[in-house]
Structure 1
């Protein structure tokens, strides 16, 4: 039986561990807190992040990263993107030399503007063909409930992408392989920022026309940035682009959309943060790094810039709307 380690016992890490277990993989789930690991191991539940969801008996949990990784053929990382580098430095000696390293994270690192696969490669020394990205409409609770969904498994090595694809394929979780790692990662990172914008609009009381406009123009600026960085434009029309964007911008299960909605209703950043109960809205920090990444490559990203201004307190939601609507008219393409 294939053995996997999932490092990170939040909602998505726990859900992906469940997917792997349902696909016949032996999984060890690492939790940062020892008490959480013990409860998961004893109760086969993660009530803190996935209340009411029964976990397969083939999932064990531990607070010991070295024990989790021992003998693993797959090691998946499911932690907040801005803490990846620090954690990897602690784990690098525990990672099996030939294991596939799987990024479940959707973000761009602050300061370096590196994608998560780039951070993994830089810290671990692993070549690109060992690093895999899972991206797409990945709302954790729906998948944990075994609701049908599709996703993308991306790696520059097509054979490795296909291998991981087979290991996480279940009756309810349908993965598609892809070799465009850049496009899949950018789609996953920028959609969190666009979801904040949609949430702000929702909180201000705007309807479907407004939200559809934000989603569509958000996809356009994601694709512009992706093209400049060498991504395949077709990726943004697929699951890791449009699929992930639609799900994250529309679902109340999306932390980024819900966070933005609170800002749109007039709550402060601190109030919105308190309401998330420790769950991370990745777009709040990613808007800074995505904006910097776009600036370095001379790409205009007006929605991202407006969201960053709201999150930094330089602009109110209404001023954000007025700024975006006052932009000069131009051809769509």
Structure 2
């Protein structure tokens, strides 16, 4: 039996998830804050600017009325930029059922700069006791909207919630695993964008495949160190929302973080790069928060440190490369002993 689902956010990922959900027989209402955007969505049956070629069924409703998008729905899928998460949750909070039956699925990746909260914690901060979970993994909207094979993970505090979301989203082209490690999933999702910026910078600067492989490998080590210090599980960072999401974000030209990094590696400022990519580059927003978390938990994150200095202090990529390559000699994995 199909569910009533409200999707909060009408960008490329929101539309791609609407495609998955309508394919699975669910009734979908998509919210956007702009009436002009809603009008375009209705006319095109999708988002022609952000995800061209993906058409949704005529049964999909579009609205800028938050009450219509949320009230009475079985599931609320939140797909907004991390910088706008708190304000958006405040808009729909009054329409969430107080009995806690509605499931809120966070599909946004990032860390709130002021509070250093992951997105599911932001939702819980605004709506205490709400039924929150997170859906994440290597999943470019451009491929999901074409029904290309994609595998992802849902993390939840409650096993039954995770299984419900798994059943709602899963189909022959969209495989969903479950996990109890919500925090690890969220940390991996946010930090991989920062590492992808670094990988893009390496591409833009012409450093070659060896350097990129090293950045990905040492990047997952940094993500794991911080995630575990915060309470995440090591296994999560070797899974879909860790190494899986990192690989696809560092390797694909669908990745806005990688594309922005390429432009920065070619000498542009982060603002110029964001303007050219014309989409939200989450790694820029997560970089400062990641560095603050590294200091708070006393975790060594040299790649994240150098990315911050390039983005916000005007450091040249070649100088950052020199710093990374000439760091003190050390063993690769301190848990191994002779």
Which range, TM-score by smaller chain?
over 0.9
Residue aligning to 1:266: 267
Question: In structure 2, what is the Cα distance between the partners aligned to 1:242 and 1:248?
Answer: 10
Cα distance per residue 1:34-92 (max 9 Å; x no partner): 11112222331210211121112332111111111121111011111011111212221
How far the C-alpha of 1:138 sits from its partner, in A, is: 1.5
Which whole-Å CA distance do the structure 2 matches of 1:123 and 1:150 have between them? 30
Contact residue 18 and residue 59 of structure 1 kept, 8 A: no
Q: Hey, what does 1:229 align to over in structure 2?
A: 230
Alignment counterpart, residue 115 of structure 2, candidates 112, 117, 123: 112
For 2:336, the equivalent position in structure 1 comes to none
Tell me which residue corresponds to 2:183. Answer: 182
Task: Report the counterpart of residue 207 of structure 1 in structure 2.
Answer: 208
**Structure 1 residues 117-266: aligned runs within 5 Å:** 117-127=120-130, 130-266=131-267
The Cα of 1:152 is off from its aligned counterpart by: 0.3
Equivalent residue, structure 2, for 1:276: 277
The separation in 2 between residues aligned to 1:89 and 1:325, in whole angstroms, is 45
Q: 1:19-30 alignment to 2 at 5 Å?
A: 19-30=20-31
Find the residue that maps to 1:19 and give its secondary structure: helix
Which residue pairs with 2:52 in the alignment? 51
Are residue 301 (structure 1) and residue 310 (structure 2) matched? Answer: no
Q: Aligned to 2:20, what secondary structure does the other structure show?
A: helix
Equivalent in the alignment of 1:67: 68
1:325 maps onto 2:325 in alignment: yes
Give the superposition deviation at 1:226: 1.1
Q: Secondary structure in 1 aligned to 2:253?
A: coil
Hey, which bits of structure 1, 4+ residues long, moved more than 3 A? none
Q: Is the 8 A contact 1:73 1:96 kept in 2?
A: no
Number of aligned residues: 330
CA contact (8 A) 1:72 1:96 kept: no
Matched residues in 2 for 1:236 and 1:137: separation? 13
Q: Distance in 2 between matches of 1:94 and 1:253?
A: 35
Aligned to 2:77, the other structure's residue is in SS state: strand
The question of 1:100 aligning with 2:76 is answered no
- Root-mean-square deviation (CA), in Å? 1.1
Mapped contact 2:154–2:165 kept (Cα < 8 A): yes
Give the Cα–Cα distance (whole angstroms) in 2 for the partners of residues 54 and 111 of structure 1.
38
Choose 45-54 or 283-292, whichever is displaced more: 45-54
Q: Give the structure 2 partner of residue 8 of structure 1.
A: 9
What is the rounded CA distance, in whole Å, between the counterparts of 1:75 and 1:320 in structure 2? 42
After superposition, what is the alpha-carbon deviation per residue over 1:166-212, rounded to whole angstroms, capped at 9, x for unaligned? 00012211010111001100110000000000000000011111100
| Separation in structure 2 between the aligned mates of residue 269 and residue 225 of structure 1, nearest angstrom | 25
Instruction: Give the deviation of 1:259 after TM superposition.
Output: 0.2
| SS of match in other structure, 2:201 | helix
- Partner SS state of residue 312, structure 1: helix
Distance in 2, matches of 1:16 and 1:295, equals: 36
Asked if 1:286 is matched to 2:319, the reply is no
Q: Summarize deviations over 1:233-268 as a string: whole Å, max 9, x none.
A: 011111011100000011000000000000001112
Question: Which 5+ residue runs of structure 2 have no aligned equivalent?
Answer: 334-338
TM-score (norm 2): 0.95
Structure 1 gaps of 5+ residues are none
Q: Say if 2:77 is the partner of 1:88.
A: no
Aligned partners of 1:152 and 1:240 also within 8 Å:
yes
CA distance in 2, matches of 1:276, 1:292: 26
